[in-house]
Amino acid sequence: DIRNLGAVLAAVKNSGIDPAGVISVVSEVGMAAAAAVRQAYILSGPDAELTRRLTDKKKQRQVWDVAGLPNPQWRAATSIASAKKAVSDIGLPVIIKPADAGGSRGVTKLENMTQFDQACADAFAHSRNGYIMVEEFIEGLECTVETFSHKGTTHTLLCTEKVKVPG
């Protein structure tokens, strides 16, 4: 399980490989393991704390707010009641999603309250830290940009439009 950092570190150690670098591709789920290996082997790249800020949407949005970056309205919720209050504060439509899952797992666009309980259940089921996000829905194109940074230079590898699959 790539989310079990101790097991990942043990597997690398037991493999006899002396890594010169480590990255995570395709999904952010492996980013914490990559950071743990980088720290254990003193390799360059995002450390565990930066990786947490990159992959935990609550922490990420807090950093953006402090920096004054444009951001949709958002609230983090730890219960159905706090999520319902967040929807009321922000107004429909909203996005409800886990704060720390990847690959669009547990993400729902909530257009009316008939979907609310199921949207929250899906988001909480995929949340590892117990937080879900309620975010203002912004109409538009959603893209994913994959980059690789080396020695202070960031290279764009791929830019794709995110296409949502129903279900």
Beta bridge partners of 159: 145
CA trace torsion 98, 99, 102, 108 (10° rounding): 40
DSSP conformational letter for 29: G
The pLDDT, as a whole number, for residue 29 is 79
pLDDT tens for residues 119-165?
A: 999 999 999 899 999 999 999 998 888 887 778 888 998 899 987 66
Residue environment code for 79-88, b if the CB has 16+ CB neighbours within 10 A, otherwise e: eeeebbebbe
Q: How confident is the model at residue 166 (pLDDT cuts 50, 70, 90)?
A: low
Strand-pair category, 74-77 with 94-98? unpaired
Regarding predicted confidence, which is higher, 2 or 112? 112
Listed range (11-15, 22-26, 73-77) with the worst mean pLDDT: 22-26
Pick from 39, 32, 41, 24: nearest CA to 4: 32
What global pTM score does this model have?
Answer: 0.80
Q: For 75-99, how does the pLDDT look when each residue is reduced to its tens digit (9 = 90+)? A: 999 999 999 999 999 999 999 999 9
Q: How far apart are CA 37 and CA 58, in angstroms?
A: 24
pLDDT of residue 103: 72
The answer to whether 105 and 98 have CB atoms below 8 angstroms apart is: yes
